[in-house]
Amino acid sequence: MRKNKKGFTLIEIIVVILAVLMAVAVPSVLKYLNTAQEAPALTECHAIVTAAQKRVIEKYSQNHDDEITLDEADNQWIEDFVDKGGSILETDVKNKEVTKILYKASNGLLVLYENNEYKIIDDEEISYFKSAQTMMQLANKLEKENDIKADVNGNNNNGESSKKPGWSYKLQKAFKEQNNGQYPKLNEEEQKTLKDGNYNGDPNALVWKPMYAKDGTVILLADTKGSAGSNALAVMLYYNNQYYVNQFANFGYRTTYVQEATLEFDENGVPINPDDKNFWVKLDK
């Protein structure tokens, strides 16, 4: 008996054709949409870099200081000058030349300018490009916005004991909230510095944690602990635009215990621990 051979229906053929077209067209459309978003973000960042270089030249003409830096006020001036609605997350200037800018464009895309190149980066990558300089600016900003300024008598300006909770705890809490509930990790260059210094721990496990020194100054500690609190096990310290590492003789970098409101500075601005005075060493970066 002869069996009926059933072919494809018209609807099935149309479905197959549409599936093939979608497979070809969707990647192209997505690529087009991404390009359409990236182009204005890159253009904005280019304008930001140009304005930043203009700002550097203006500052140098005023004071002829070869060590020009761009602070938060300068970043605000640059953003206002370009007037696109984006925000500068980090800048780096070397030899009177803008060498790096991390910029969040008005459409939310993150753009990194470095080595004379522009590229779009993901949110997950941002911690690898942010440095302690950016984190310190954030900590100082949060301190003002949240009115957390500590005094040297062990009380914050609300009259509460520094231990219930401590000044550092309040600042750390606000700091974490601005970093998706986590302390930010050290960036790639900072981690490499520790590896080169024979640090025997895992640099990728370290996080930047703000804390108050004895005189109420905000410092950043590269801490092995991820919890908020009044102490830290730190291997690197950032203060006054300078990195310091805790180095014991020639045995490489090591962690040291730092208690809130105990760390002081000598006449040269070098940090010292009460029980560990000779081990914070200035890094030439």
Q: Give the residue-averaged pLDDT of 58-64.
A: 89
The whole-number pLDDT of residue 226 equals: 74
Helix (H) or strand (E) holding 227: none
CB neighbours (10 Å) of residue 248?
A: 13
Q: Calculate Rg over the CA atoms of the chain.
A: 25
The whole-number pLDDT of residue 159 equals: 43
The whole-number pLDDT of residue 27 equals: 61
117 near 101, Cβ under 8 Å? Answer: no
What residue ranges do the domains of the chain occupy? Answer: 10-129, 131-285
| Distance of alpha carbon 32 from alpha carbon 262, whole angstroms | 56
pTM surpassing 0.95?
Answer: no
Model confidence band, residue 46 (pLDDT cutoffs 50, 70, 90): very high
**Domain 131-285: assigned CATH number:** 3.30.1690
| Distance of alpha carbon 204 from alpha carbon 189, whole angstroms | 11
| Distance of alpha carbon 66 from alpha carbon 82, whole angstroms | 25
| Distance of alpha carbon 255 from alpha carbon 284, whole angstroms | 19
Q: Which has more pLDDT, 277 or 280?
A: 280
| Distance of alpha carbon 15 from alpha carbon 138, whole angstroms | 54
Q: What is the dihedral of CA 63, 69, 73, 78, to 10 degrees?
A: 100
The whole-number pLDDT of residue 83 equals: 94
| Distance of alpha carbon 103 from alpha carbon 50, whole angstroms | 13
Residues 6 or more apart in contact with residue 86 via CB below 8 angstroms: 44, 45, 48, 79, 103, 104, 105, 106
Tens digits of per-residue pLDDT, 109-131? 999 998 899 999 887 666 555 67
Q: How far is CA 171 from CA 119, 187, 256, in A?
A: 33, 21, 21
Q: In sequence order, what are the beta bridge partners of 280?
A: 246
| Distance of alpha carbon 35 from alpha carbon 22, whole angstroms | 19
Window from 25-34, 134-143, 185-194, 221-230 with minimum mean pLDDT:
25-34
| Distance of alpha carbon 61 from alpha carbon 59, whole angstroms | 5
Structure letter (DSSP) for residue 184: P
Tens digits of per-residue pLDDT, 145-204? 777 765 445 444 444 444 334 678 888 888 888 877 888 888 888 888 888 888 888 898
| Distance of alpha carbon 39 from alpha carbon 105, whole angstroms | 11
Q: Which has more pLDDT, 109 or 16?
A: 109
Tens digits of per-residue pLDDT, 218-270? 999 999 877 777 888 888 999 887 889 887 655 678 888 888 888 888 888 88
Q: Which has more pLDDT, 100 or 278?
A: 100
Cis (ω within 30 of 0) for the bond into 165?
yes
